[in-house]
């Protein structure tokens, strides 16, 4: 079996290691693999975000399965392109990936579905966002709505901090296109935990809960 893993971080390294344990006969291809996995996979000299090139390469190389790790290629429609070429892919379509690629969309979805979530408001206008912060007070959380490599959420202890964060995101475009819209959330104190499920549109299987430990600074 010929498997392409899109991405080159620790997550993809773990996937490659586990796949080879379960299917040692498989040939694994990885986009620009890191040094830790270079000896167990075949390198593919295409960036994980180049969805057009990756879909074409997978088709030309008769890839049997593509596993997509990072959010950006999912948000750019890599799975959609692969499916149009008849290549099975593990990962959500562009439409389904919006719950990851747009915080504003995901918050609206949770609100409509009755899923508990922190109080929030979304803004594209800096003046309106700043007025909302002044009205709500602090502590408060300011988030770039789009994908920002895990750095787009800013916990603000004071109103001035929040106003500065809004200026940075909406006016200065500190996060580029990811900051065209912001989500302002009520501050909730506690430990962060993630619970994942693998779903096919009909059934879902829960995985073990985990925590994301971000580097300080």
- Asked if residue 75 lies in contact with residue 11, where contact means CB atoms within 8 angstroms, the answer is no
Tokens 């799975």 appear where? 79
d(CA 121, CA 172): 20
Q: Which of helix, strand or coil describes residue 167? A: helix
Query: Do residues 185 and 118 make contact, with C-beta atoms less than 8 angstroms apart?
Result: yes
Same domain, 6 and 87: yes
Provide DSSP, 127-154. Answer: HHHHHHHHHH-SSEEEEESS--TT--EE
Query: Would you give per-residue pLDDT tens digits along the chain (217 residues)?
Result: 999 999 999 999 999 999 999 999 999 999 999 999 999 999 999 999 999 999 999 999 999 999 999 999 999 999 999 999 999 999 999 999 999 999 999 999 999 999 999 999 999 999 999 999 999 999 999 999 999 987 899 999 999 999 999 999 999 999 999 999 999 999 999 888 899 999 988 999 999 999 887 777 6
Residue 194 is assigned to a structural domain of this protein? no
* Domain final residue, candidates 82, 99, 116: 99
Domain assignment of residue 72, yes or no: yes
The verdict on 6 and 89 lying in the same domain is yes
Let me know: does 191 contact 146? Beta carbons within 8 Å.
no
Residues 94 and 61 in one domain: yes
Residue 212 falls inside a structural domain: no
Check which CATH number belongs to the domain holding 86 and give it. Answer: 3.40.50.20
Residue 95 shares a structural domain with residue 106: no
Instruction: State the total domains in the chain.
Output: 2
How far is CA 46 from each of CA 8, 13, 38, 93, rounded to the nearest angstrom? 11, 17, 15, 20
Give the domain extent around 92. 2-99
Q: How far apart are CA 93 and CA 79, in angstroms?
A: 5
**pTM for this prediction:** 0.87
| Distance spanning both ends of the chain, measured CA to CA | 42
Separation between Cα atoms, residue 184 and residue 104, nearest integer Å: 9
71: in domain: yes
- DSSP at 178: G
């Amino acid at each position: 079996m010929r498997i392409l893993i899109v991405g080159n971080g620790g997550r993809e390294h773990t996937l490659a290691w586990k796949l080879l344990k379960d299917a040692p006969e498989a040939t694994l291809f990885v986009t620009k693999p890191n040094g830790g996995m270079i000896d167990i996979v075949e390198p593919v000299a295409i960036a994980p975000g180049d969805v057009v090139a990756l879909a074409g390469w997978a088709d030309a190389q008769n890839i049997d399965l593509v596993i997509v790790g990072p959010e950006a290629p999912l948000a750019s429609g890599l799975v959609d392109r692969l499916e149009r070429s008849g290549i099975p892919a593990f990962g959500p379509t562009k439409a389904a990936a919006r719950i990851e690629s747009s915080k504003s969309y995901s918050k609206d979805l949770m609100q409509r579905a009755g899923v508990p979530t922190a109080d929030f408001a979304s803004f594209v206008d800096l003046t309106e966002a700043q007025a909302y912060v002044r009205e709500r007070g602090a502590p408060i959380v300011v988030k770039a709505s789009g994908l920002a490599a895990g750095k787009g959420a800013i916990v603000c202890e004071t109103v001035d901090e929040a106003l500065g964060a809004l200026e940075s995101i909406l006016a200065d475009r500190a996060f580029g296109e990811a900051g065209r819209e912001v989500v302002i959330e009520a501050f909730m104190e506690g430990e962060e935990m993630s619970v994942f499920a693998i779903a096919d549109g009909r059934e879902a299987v829960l995985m073990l809960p985990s925590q994301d430990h971000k580097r300080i600074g």
